[in-house]
Structure 1
């Protein structure tokens, strides 16, 4: 997709990857960029930089997603590219509470589903559109130390894949962004020893890779190229992969391996 003259909506647009995407996309001369975020002050700051609009949006709430999409399409125009980027991370395993599971599920998974439920029929009716979902390399591999993050990011990848399979021949373009560690405020909420193996990328570097992928309409966006190798290793020998991850977990626990 060429972003020139396109209407773009980015959730989680106040900081991190979302803000970097807004700034990078702005250089492509889109018609308008909308930065949606619970942090309305941050969203307004980024929107001011790119000549766009800020909308206060909590993607955990279906009504907020509907209001965002309906408002943009009524006031600005049909959405060409919807970047479902907002997400959260938390540590936790089998002891994670139902409340925490529901919170991360609503934001990391249901937000993608709810946006697509509203947008896909509209996009198909007008001949096409583009949905970009931010997931994580954890959605292809695993996230040591966080069952909720690993599970929800797998679900996000799976839903994006389903959209591409089901509606790709009807004109819907779908990409899923799967970085490893990115130097954003989100990373402060996780033990960085589990994410910095291949280095933290800047949000700006991720945005550049994402733009290249969108221009080529590639489904899987891997800012850390090593992830492709890990994914092949996992698929070729799952037992060996699990064993290797177990050893990594043991090292992180301070055990001799």
Structure 2
């Protein structure tokens, strides 16, 4: 996809990867961007900071179908049909078996079902035109795992699975799908985990280079241009995924050793 002249929607746009994508897409010459987030003041500030591209900021709960449908309608009204919908909102829990049922449900609603809600809202118009692109932020946790965070590991695997299903089902009807799967990214989410000494954050930081959100956004632009299903800002994730597939038992043993090593030095 050439982003020039395209209409884009980004959820979870107020900070981190979402905000970095908005700025990078602006540089790429998109025609208009609708930026959505629960943090209305932050996303409005981002919208005002972007020059040279028409933008609109909207408060949106991505788990609410009515609000997401309204989001797509607002994009159509402001800029025209949506060419690229970036389902970027996500949360972590930092918990395991002690995760409450409510926390499991919230992780599921935001990390997985929000992608379903978005697809339902935007796909009909894309299918009518025979063209459209869905970018799902899924995380390397969706291909590998998330140490110390059972809901995140499980829901991100499900998010990758849904992205695969969308591509298989609609790829021959003009719909492109990419799953963005970064590893460590210097966002408040990771920084908070490192400050708190969470095992998952420590292992993520130890597993490879921690990229900036801007580096991830650059990888997104390259991945969209190549129309790759898996966008891997950390190329080593492909190697880890291959090792996991070739010998799951060996991979699990290596993960246990990594957790022990990181925990002993924390």
TM superposition shift of 1:251: 3.0
Q: Secondary structure at the match of 1:143?
A: coil
1:38 is the counterpart of 2:42? no
CA contact (8 A) 2:88 2:136 kept: yes
Q: Secondary structure at the match of 1:54?
A: strand
Q: Secondary structure at the match of 1:182?
A: coil
Please name the residue that 2:23 is paired with: 23
Q: Secondary structure at the match of 1:183?
A: coil
Question: Structure 2 length as normaliser, TM-score?
Answer: 0.92
Q: Secondary structure at the match of 1:254?
A: helix
TM superposition shift of 1:189: 4.0
1:152 is the counterpart of 2:155? yes
Cα distance in structure 2, aligned partners of 1:168 and 1:47:
32
1:251 is the counterpart of 2:246? no
Please name the residue that 2:139 is paired with: 136
1:214 is the counterpart of 2:217? no
1:90-126: CA deviation from partner (whole Å, max 9, x where unpaired): 1111121000001111110011011001212221111
Cα distance in structure 1, aligned partners of 2:158 and 2:202:
24
Please name the residue that 1:5 is paired with: 5
Question: Structure 1 length as normaliser, TM-score?
Answer: 0.96
TM superposition shift of 1:194: 2.0
Please name the residue that 1:185 is paired with: 188
Please name the residue that 1:49 is paired with: 49
CA contact (8 A) 1:135 1:153 kept: yes
1:137-194: CA deviation from partner (whole Å, max 9, x where unpaired): 0000001100000001101111001111111111000001000010111213433312
Cα distance in structure 1, aligned partners of 2:262 and 2:150:
16
Please name the residue that 2:203 is paired with: 194
TM superposition shift of 1:250: 2.8
CA contact (8 A) 2:203 2:258 kept: no
Unaligned runs of 5+ in 2: none
Any residues of structure 2 matched to 1:103-118 within 5 Å, and which?
Answer: 103-118=106-121
Cα distance in structure 2, aligned partners of 1:120 and 1:62:
14
**How many positions carry a matched residue from both structures?**
255
Cα distance in structure 2, aligned partners of 1:165 and 1:107:
23
After superposing the two structures, state which structure 1 stretch, 46-55 or 17-26, moved more: 46-55
Cα distance in structure 2, aligned partners of 1:194 and 1:216:
31
TM superposition shift of 1:243: 1.3
